[in-house]
Amino acid sequence: MKPLQRRAAVSWAAVALLAALCGIVAVLQYRWIGEISEAERQRLQEQLRDRLDALRTRFDQEISNACAALQPDSREMAQAGAEQAYAARVARLPRNRRAMFRRIAIATPDGDTLNLALLDTAHGTFVPAAWPVEWNGMRERLFARMEGRPLPAASAASYALLEMPRFGPDRREQNWLIVELDTDSLRTVLLPDLLRRYLGQGGKSEYDAEVQVDTTPPTAIFESSLTGHALHDPDGSIQLLQGPSPEPGAAPLGVRVPLGRPPQHRLRGATPVAPRISPAGPGWTLLVRHKAGSLEALVEQTRLRNLALSAGLLLLIVATVTAMVRISRQAQQLAALQINFVAGVSHEFRTPLTVIRTAAYNLRGRLAARPEQVERYGNLIQHEAEKLQALVEQVLRFASVKAGVGVRRLEPVNVIELLEKSLESYEAAAGQSGTVFEKHLDAGLPPILADEVALQHALQNLVDNAVKYGAEGGNWVGISAMPVEDSSGTAVEIRVADRGPGIPPDEQRQIFDPFYRGRRAVTDQIHGTGLGLALAKNIVEAHGGSLAVDSEPGRGCEFIVRLPAQIDAEAATLRT
Ligand code: ADP
Distance CA 253, CA 239 (A): 9
CA of 146 to the centre of ligand 1 (A): 117
CA dist 55 and 191 (Å) reads 9
Ligand 1 binding pocket includes 138 (Cβ within 6 Å): no
Cβ of residue 532 lying under 6 Å from some atom of ligand 1: yes
Q: What is the pLDDT of residue 510?
A: 92
- From ligand 1's centre to the CA of 135, what distance in Å? 107
Distant-in-sequence, close-in-space partners of 323: CB < 8 Å, separation ≥ 6: none
- Mean pLDDT, the chain, whole residue set: 85
Q: Which amino acid does the sequence have at 15?
A: V
How many whole angstroms from 527 Cα to the centroid of ligand 1?
Answer: 10
3-class SS of residue 383: helix
Question: Which atom of ligand 1 is least distant from the CA of 519?
Answer: 16
- Taking the mean position of all CA atoms in its chain, how far away is CA 394? 49
pLDDT in tens, 296-307: 999 999 999 999
How sure is the predictor about 227, in pLDDT bands with cuts at 50, 70 and 90?
A: low
- Residue 313 one-letter amino acid: L
CA–CA gap between residue 574 and residue 559 (Å, rounded):
29
Tell which one of 391, 397, 511 to mutate to probe ligand 1, the residue whose CB is within 8 A of the most ligand atoms. Answer: 511
Ligand 1 atom, smallest distance to 559 CA: 23
**Confidence bin at 540 (pLDDT 50/70/90):** very high
Query: Is the per-residue pLDDT at 420 higher than 50?
Result: yes
Atom from ligand 1 closest to the CA of residue 517:
14
In the chain, % of residues over pLDDT 70: 90
Q: Are 450 and 492 in contact (CB under 8 A)?
A: no
Per-residue model confidence (pLDDT) at position 549:
97
- Residue 31: the pLDDT is 94
Q: What angle do CA 445, 450, 456 make, to 5 degrees?
A: 85
Q: For ligand 1, atom 26, which residue shows the shortest CA distance?
A: 503
More confident residue, 240 or 272: 240
pLDDT per residue as tens digits for the range 254-312: 333 232 233 333 333 333 445 678 888 888 999 999 988 888 999 999 999 999 999 99
Which of 517, 537, 558, 561 has most ligand 1 atoms within 8 Å of CB, for mutation? 517
Predicted pLDDT at 366: 67
Ligand 1 center from residue 340 Cα (angstroms): 14
Q: Which of 487, 505, 480, 500 is nearest to 561 (CA)?
A: 480
C-alpha to C-alpha distance for 397 and 135, rounded to whole angstroms: 107
Evaluate whether 248 touches 120 at the Cβ level (below 8 Å).
no
Q: Indicate the pairing of strand 476-486 with strand 436-441.
A: parallel
Cβ of 556 closer than 6 Å to ligand 1, yes or no, is: no
How far, in Å, from the CA of 306 to the mean position of ligand 1?
54
**C-beta 533 within 6 A of ligand 1:** yes
Q: Please name the amino acid found at residue 563.
A: L
Helix ranges restricted to H, 434-501: 452-470
**Can you give the pLDDT at residue 149?**
86
Give the angle subtended at the CA of 86 by the CAs of 81 and 91, to the nearest 5°.
125
What pLDDT does 230 receive? 57
Range from 6-10, 315-319, 364-368, 557-561 carrying the lowest mean pLDDT: 364-368
Q: How far apart are CA 243 and CA 283, in angstroms?
A: 4
Query: What's the pLDDT band for 249 if we cut at 50, 70, 90?
Result: very low
The tens digit of pLDDT for each residue in 364-395 reads 876 667 788 888 888 999 989 988 998 898 88
Report which protein residue has its CA nearest ligand 1's atom 25. Answer: 502
Q: What is the pTM of this model?
A: 0.57
Nearest to 215 by CA among 257, 255, 156, 256: 156
Nearest-5° Cα angle at 462, 457 to 468: 115
Question: Where do the DSSP E strands lie in 382-501?
Answer: 411-413, 436-441, 448-450, 476-486, 489-498
With a 6 Å cutoff on the Cβ, whether 151 touches ligand 1 is no
Query: What is Dmax (Cα atoms) for the chain?
Result: 164
How would residue 340 be classed by pLDDT, with cut points 50, 70 and 90? Answer: confident
CA-closest residue to ligand 1 atom 19: 465
Across 496-503, average pLDDT: 94
Q: Which of 457, 459, 469, 525 to mutate to test the pocket of ligand 1 (most atoms within 8 A of CB)?
A: 469
pLDDT for the residue numbered 28: 94
Edge-to-edge strand list for the sheet holding 436-441: 436-441, 476-486, 489-498, 557-564, 546-551
Q: How far apart are CA 330 and CA 513, in angstroms?
A: 12
Q: Are 419 and 481 spatial neighbours (Cβ–Cβ below 8 Å)? A: yes
Whose C-alpha lies nearest to ligand 1, atom 14? 517
Ligand 1 atom showing the smallest separation from residue 530 Cα: 8
Report the pLDDT value the prediction gives residue 59, as an integer from 0 to 100.
92
Q: How far apart are CA 334 and CA 346, in angstroms?
A: 18
Region 457-478: what's the mean pLDDT? 92
What phi, psi does 125 have (nearest 5°)?
-130, 160
- By 3-state DSSP, what share of the chain in percent is helix, strand and coil, each rounded to 5? 50, 20, 30
Among 151-165, 202-216, 274-288, 411-425, the range with the most confident prediction by mean pLDDT is: 411-425
Mean pLDDT calculated for residue range 551-566: 93
Q: How many A from CA of 480 to the centre of ligand 1? A: 20
d(CA 397, CA 486): 30
pLDDT, tens digit, 9 for 90 and up, residues 479-496: 999 999 988 889 999 999
For ligand 1, is residue 517 a contact (CB within 6 Å)? Answer: yes
Backbone angles phi, psi at 362, to 5 degrees: -65, -40
What is the 247 CA–ligand 1 centroid distance (Å)? 107
Q: Which of 351, 349, 352, 376 is nearest to 362 (CA)?
A: 376
Of residues 293 and 42, more confidence is placed in 42
Structure confidence at residue 199 as a pLDDT band (50, 70, 90): very high
Whole-number Å distance between alpha carbons of 407 and 390: 18
Of the residues 465, 508, 523, which should be mutated to test ligand 1's pocket, given the most ligand atoms within 8 Å of the CB?
Answer: 465
- The answer to whether the CB of 537 falls within 8 A of the CB of 358 is no
Q: Is residue 258 packed enough to be buried (19+ CB in 10 Å), middle (13-18) or exposed (0-12)?
A: middle
What average pLDDT does this structure show over 533-551? 95
Nearest CA to ligand 1 atom 15: 518
The answer to whether the CB of 89 is under 6 A from ligand 1 is no
Whole-number pLDDT of residue 268: 37
Tell how far the Cα of 465 is from the centroid of ligand 1, in angstroms.
6
Which has the minimum average pLDDT: 18-32, 72-86, 214-228, 269-283? 269-283
